[in-house]
């Protein structure tokens, strides 16, 4: 987004019980954001812990509240949204 610095956020999520194909559900997150007309939050990547039905996902957005709001809009459950810095 021009003029707005995008920050990184790590999201801890519990997979909804009705989702049987966890990797497929996560691959669908970008489309869910587009369909919900969310333009200021971008899905970057995720790691699935399939047996435990947990997901750690990375998003970019202007702030924590915007990312949380986008996740609520697409009904993606989460336990925490944390701003993060990538260390290479």
Read off the pLDDT of residues 65-87 as tens digits, 9 standing for 90 and up: 999 999 999 998 899 999 999 88
Give the pLDDT confidence score for residue 9 in this predicted structure: 97
Residue 2, in any domain of the structure = no
Residue 35, in any domain of the structure = yes
Residue 1 — very low, low, confident or very high, per pLDDT cuts 50/70/90? Answer: very low
Q: How far is residue 8's CA from residue 86's CA, in Å, rounded to a whole number? A: 8
Residue 29, in any domain of the structure = yes
For the chain, what is the domain count?
1
Residue 66, in any domain of the structure = yes
User: Could you list the residue range(s) of the whole structural domain that residue 23 is in?
Assistant: 7-84
Residue 26, in any domain of the structure = yes
Residue 48, in any domain of the structure = yes
Residue 1, in any domain of the structure = no
Total-model pTM: 0.86
CATH number at residue 31: 3.30.70.3090
Residues contacting residue 10 through CB under 8 Å, at least 6 positions apart? 56, 57, 58, 81, 82, 84
């Amino acid at each position: 987004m021009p003029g707005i610095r995008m920050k990184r956020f790590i999201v801890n999520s519990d997979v909804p019980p009705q989702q049987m194909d966890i990797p497929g559900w996560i691959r669908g997150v970008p489309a869910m954001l587009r369909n919900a007309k969310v333009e200021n939050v971008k899905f970057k990547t995720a790691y699935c812990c399939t047996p435990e039905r947990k997901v750690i996902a990375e998003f970019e957005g202007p702030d924590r509240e915007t990312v949380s709001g986008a996740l609520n809009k697409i009904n993606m459950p989460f336990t925490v949204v944390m701003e993060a810095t990538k260390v290479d």
